[in-house]
Structure 1
Amino acid sequence: MQQLTYDDIKAATDRITGHVRPVAVTPVDPGTVRTTYLASPDDRSEARFGEVWFALEFLQHTGSFKARGAQNFIQAHREAKTLPDAGVAIASGGNAGLACAWAARQQGVRATVFLPTVAPAVKVAKLRELGADVRIVGAEYAEALEACVEFADSTGALTSHAYDHPLIAAGAGTLMEEIRTRIPGLDTVVVSVGGGGLFAGVATAARHHGVRTVAVEPENCRALNAAVEAGHPVDVPVESVAIDSLGARRATGLALHAARRDGVHSVLVPDSEIVRTRQALWDHHRVAVEHAASTALAALTAPAPYGYRPSDGEKIAVVLCGANTDLSDLAHPTSD
Structure 2
Amino acid sequence: MHQLTYGDIKAATDRIAGRIRRVALAQVDPGAVRTAHRDPLGEREVTPCEVWLAMEFMQHTGSFKARSAQNFIQAHRDANTLPDAGVTIASGGNAGLACAWAAQQQGVTATVFLPTTAPAVKVAKLRGYGAEVRLVGSEYAEALAACEEFAAATGALASHAYDHPLIAAGAGTLLEEIHAQIPGLDTIVVAVGGGGLFTGVATAAQHHGIRTVAVEPENCRALNAAIEVGRVVDVTVDSIAADSLGARRTSTMALTAAQQDGVQSLLVPDSEIVLARRALWDHRRVAVEHGAATALAALTSPDRHVADRDLPTRPAAASRSYRPGSGEKVCVVLCGANTDVTTLVQTQN
What TM-score, normalized by structure 1, do the two folds share?
0.94
Structure 1 position 29, deviation (Å): 1.6
- Alignment partner of 1:310 is 2:324: yes
Residues 218 and 295 of structure 1 are in contact (CA less than 8 Å); yes or no, is this contact kept in structure 2? yes
Give deviations 1:77-136, integer Å, cap 9, x for gaps.
001111000000000000000000000001000000000112111000000000000000
- Alignment partner of 1:327 is 2:341: yes
Is 137-146 or 23-32 further displaced after alignment? Answer: 23-32
Distance 1:296 1:118 in 2: 23
Structure 1 position 308, deviation (Å): 1.4
Structure 1 position 30, deviation (Å): 3.1
In the TM superposition, 1:138-287 aligns within 5 A as 138-287=137-286
- Alignment partner of 1:111 is 2:125: no
Q: Which residue of the partner structure matches residue 61 of structure 2?
A: 62
Residues 33 and 49 of structure 2 are in contact (CA less than 8 Å); yes or no, is this contact kept in structure 1? no
Distance 1:300 1:80 in 2: 43
Q: Which residue of the partner structure matches residue 295 of structure 1?
A: 294
Structure 1 position 210, deviation (Å): 0.3
Decide which structure has greater helix share: 1
Distance 2:12 2:249 in 1: 25
Distance 1:69 1:61 in 2: 11
SS at match of 2:31: helix
Letter in 2 for 1:315: K
Structure 1 position 260, deviation (Å): 0.2
Identity within the alignment, %: 74
Q: Alpha carbons of 1:222 and 1:48: their partners in 2 closer, same or farther (altered >3 Å)?
A: farther
Structure 1 position 324, deviation (Å): 0.3
Distance 2:337 2:219 in 1: 22
Residues 66 and 172 of structure 1 are in contact (CA less than 8 Å); yes or no, is this contact kept in structure 2? yes
Give deviations 1:198-247, integer Å, cap 9, x for gaps.
00000000000000000000000000000000001000000000001100
SS at match of 2:32: helix
Give deviations 1:260-282, integer Å, cap 9, x for gaps.
00000000000000011101100
Residues 277 and 290 of structure 2 are in contact (CA less than 8 Å); yes or no, is this contact kept in structure 1? yes
Q: Which residue of the partner structure matches residue 42 of structure 1?
A: none
Residues 128 and 134 of structure 1 are in contact (CA less than 8 Å); yes or no, is this contact kept in structure 2? yes
Letter in 2 for 1:308: Y
Q: Which residue of the partner structure matches residue 76 of structure 2?
A: 77
Q: Which residue of the partner structure matches residue 17 of structure 1?
A: 17
Distance 2:5 2:48 in 1: 31
Displaced runs of 4 or more, over 2 A: 32-35, 331-335
SS at match of 1:313: coil
Q: Which residue of the partner structure matches residue 308 of structure 2?
A: none
Residues 283 and 332 of structure 1 are in contact (CA less than 8 Å); yes or no, is this contact kept in structure 2? no
Distance 1:6 1:293 in 2: 25
Q: Alpha carbons of 1:208 and 1:131: their partners in 2 closer, same or farther (altered >3 Å)?
A: same
What TM-score, normalized by structure 2, do the two folds share?
0.91
SS at match of 1:289: coil
Structure 1 position 33, deviation (Å): 3.5
Distance 1:163 1:48 in 2: 38
Residues 48 and 310 of structure 1 are in contact (CA less than 8 Å); yes or no, is this contact kept in structure 2? no
Q: Alpha carbons of 1:73 and 1:194: their partners in 2 closer, same or farther (altered >3 Å)?
A: same
Structure 1 position 2, deviation (Å): 3.5
Letter in 1 for 2:7: D
Letter in 2 for 1:261: Q
Distance 2:251 2:48 in 1: 32
Q: Which residue of the partner structure matches residue 102 of structure 1?
A: 101
- Alignment partner of 1:29 is 2:43: no
Structure 1 position 299, deviation (Å): 0.5
Q: Alpha carbons of 1:49 and 1:132: their partners in 2 closer, same or farther (altered >3 Å)?
A: farther
Q: Alpha carbons of 1:67 and 1:185: their partners in 2 closer, same or farther (altered >3 Å)?
A: same
Count of residues paired in the alignment: 324
Structure 1 position 34, deviation (Å): 4.7
Give deviations 1:135-167, integer Å, cap 9, x for gaps.
000000000000000001111100000000000
